[in-house]
Amino acid sequence: MVKKTVFVVAAILLGAFVIGAVDGAHPFGDPGAAPMDDYFLANALNDISAENIVTAIVFDYRGFDTIGEAAVLFTALTAVATLLREGRRKP
């Protein structure tokens, strides 16, 4: 009974938080004033002739974040290989 009460209260609180967060978000399709986005959209094609601006941002303007992504993948590979490689147990 106590467990059920706690569950209901937690569910109501979580629902209230979610509704509040959705209510406070930007309206759909309108991210608001973003001068940096406008800079990318205006200059990426003319400066470095990048047709796909997303790739230009990922590998050129924000290349430092791509290093982080590569490091995350490399760390995951290292962890998996450390745990599971050479799966032969000593008899």
Number of residues forming the site for other proteins (CB under 8 A): 32
Give me the least distance between CB of 83 and other proteins, in Å please.
7
Q: Work out whether 38 is an interface residue with other proteins (CB under 8 A).
A: no
The site string for other proteins over 52-81 (x = CB under 8 A, - otherwise) reads: x-xxx-xxx--xx-xx-xx--xx-xx--xx
User: Residue 37 and residue 57: Cα distance in Å, rounded?
Assistant: 10
Q: Work out whether 15 is an interface residue with other proteins (CB under 8 A).
A: no
Give me the least distance between CB of 44 and other proteins, in Å please.
9
Q: Work out whether 30 is an interface residue with other proteins (CB under 8 A).
A: no
User: Residue 42 and residue 36: Cα distance in Å, rounded?
Assistant: 10
- Alpha helices, H only, the chain: 2-24, 35-48, 53-56, 63-84
User: Residue 59 and residue 44: Cα distance in Å, rounded?
Assistant: 12
Q: Work out whether 40 is an interface residue with other proteins (CB under 8 A).
A: no
Distance of CA 71 to the CA centre of its chain: 15
